[in-house]
Structure 1
């Protein structure tokens, strides 16, 4: 396409398809990855804490969720600006440095087997460390030409004011998503405790489900010759090597996973009372409305969190005067911390102990509330949006009268 102007004939530069393709792929993947993790910044923060532990950076644990929000926003911003062609040189540098950092982390995780899942796409698309590493290698290969030819990336929008305004909206939106979901729970819950799930059923192994298949390897020593050889359990039993008195087993057999079998969505939920008695089935199968107030660590409650928990406790106490409900506090804190809390706010909640791992999955909030009925998760709230007694009665309790 040509046109004639004051300065003569000029030719409009054609888009470089060989550059556009990696721009689109990288941009879309970065936006998608950032949005998925920004949907659950607290969960991504837990994953970051695993990395902090590996590298001896435990002092960052208290800031993990804010670091998570920053990284998620950075991915979204870089991806969006890359597609729009805004600030191409800075974006190219940011992409290159970020992907080198991520590639190092995923390789370290995979090679040294220190983190089982990188959390690249949150809980929506779990990836093994090696899968994550290969994904980062592909992205690195795509980002290299983007970086080399960054001068050829031109913005779609001619107006500098419009570009700056759009960039500002992208930055505000990218950080806003993570901050909102941190305080008011994820938009989409990918965890097994999401609303509508039957917790009772998710703890059962379905009929006909196949378990994991392992191969056990024995190390045998010939007492006469001193020769040592390894055999599988099939060889050991099939050839009746155990009957050979001249052979002795050295050490414990080595187990190797051959085939992954059925995996329970909720394998680790155990609810015990103060005496250590397992009350899991009793609690989650309650046929009446059942409030499970989750606080994995009572010592980490801020003054605002403490006030919110007191409001939750008061609201449930008022409800219990008119309705047949059960309410428990599920925590991994010590009995001393629970007793202190009870002295401060006269808990109407029964106290039960649950490991911190399932508590983190129940509600992405400390404290948070999960409403259950007949084993089904009806609704979840953070401490910031737990409703009033009137709202609970209108939306839930009046509907079953």
Structure 2
């Protein structure tokens, strides 16, 4: 009786943790793509040939993670589910140990941007998680379906379809939930204040460099500012450039200060500006910062005295309120 109770508690804990961990990444799969790119880089695992497939890896892992959490809770294919959970967690355990021991990746991204853990904290979390999964593996016969007939199967496949739909939606538009310091409603000046413990502030490396100076302090004091983010021109969706031109012209006519922001070379920016007849000048900002600011390339951020009031992927710029 006690073993059965322990098994059911472990089942709930494991399922809830996998669902939570998968969900906070499901709403922002591009963030996980960036994390895979970091792991595949030369300085970490030295598997750069996998970088082009980082988004695919992210999607497969996220969907598998949250789906397995659902499956263990409802009791669908319990043996397959428990073994799959063990394999995935073992992979996580190795990666987090590697990151912690060699100080390679300071944030594994296991909870996306929702909760930040140090590599060692993540490693010990995975050790505990494997212990819980081993309990489930030993007493897998105690894991019974919650529903009779084909209901658990239907729930599983409906869940899979729902998760894939969410992935497609957020990749086309923007994350459903924005956990970052540049989310709508956040004030960037406040985000630059150092915490009492002396740790790095949420908003850092934020500079908008013009020809002669950093314009960030000036722009963060203005009421109507539009930033057209194109973090890397080589990777930008050029189909969005006409929309950027049109919406920026409307913004300028309504009194907005409009700048493009990119990490690309100035010569390339001048070529793009002339080719697409873009009615704004470009400022330079660190690529990582720009990818953190908005999961779009190109995308739009509207600021009012440093507060983010609107963010749009280029496909949604017609919905901007100017």
- The question of a shared fold, defined as TM-score above 0.5 by the shorter chain, is answered with yes
CA distance in 1, matches of 2:178, 2:251: 27
User: Counterpart in 2 of 1:376?
Assistant: 307
CA RMSD after TM alignment: 1.9
Q: 1:292 to 1:84 in 2, by over 3 A?
A: same
Secondary structure (helix, strand or coil) at the match of 2:88 reads helix
Matches within 5 A, 1:382-401: 382-387=313-318, 391-392=319-320, 396-397=321-322
Secondary structure (helix, strand or coil) at the match of 1:125 reads coil
4+ runs deviating over 6 angstroms: none
Match of 2:146 among 156, 166, 178: 156
Secondary structure (helix, strand or coil) at the match of 1:341 reads helix
Secondary structure (helix, strand or coil) at the match of 1:377 reads strand
Residue 297 of structure 2 is aligned to residue 366 of structure 1: yes
Match of 1:79 among 69, 86, 89: 69
CA distance in 1, matches of 2:52, 2:260: 23
Match of 1:34 among 22, 37, 42: 22
Match of 2:287 among 329, 343, 356: 356
Match of 1:285 among 221, 224, 234: 221
Q: Is the 8 A contact 1:70 1:175 kept in 2?
A: no
User: Counterpart in 2 of 1:310?
Assistant: 242
Higher strand proportion, which one?
1
CA distance in 1, matches of 2:95, 2:225: 42
User: Counterpart in 2 of 1:218?
Assistant: none
Higher helix proportion, which one?
2
User: Counterpart in 2 of 1:25?
Assistant: 13
Residue range with higher mean Cα deviation, 25-34 or 66-75: 66-75
User: Counterpart in 1 of 2:60?
Assistant: 70
Matches within 5 A, 1:210-249: none
Q: 1:262 to 1:103 in 2, by over 3 A?
A: closer
Residue 230 of structure 2 is aligned to residue 295 of structure 1: yes
TM-score for both structures, normalised by structure 1: 0.76
Residue 168 of structure 2 is aligned to residue 179 of structure 1: yes
User: Counterpart in 1 of 2:278?
Assistant: 347
Deviation at 1:307, TM superposition (A): 1.6
Deviation at 1:294, TM superposition (A): 0.8
Aligned length in residues: 320
CA distance in 2, matches of 1:105, 1:127: 14
Q: Is the 8 A contact 1:299 1:337 kept in 2?
A: no
Secondary structure (helix, strand or coil) at the match of 1:384 reads helix
TM-score for both structures, normalised by structure 2: 0.93
Secondary structure (helix, strand or coil) at the match of 1:267 reads coil
Select the structure with the greater relative contact order (CA < 8 A; seq sep ≥ 6).
2
Secondary structure (helix, strand or coil) at the match of 1:386 reads helix
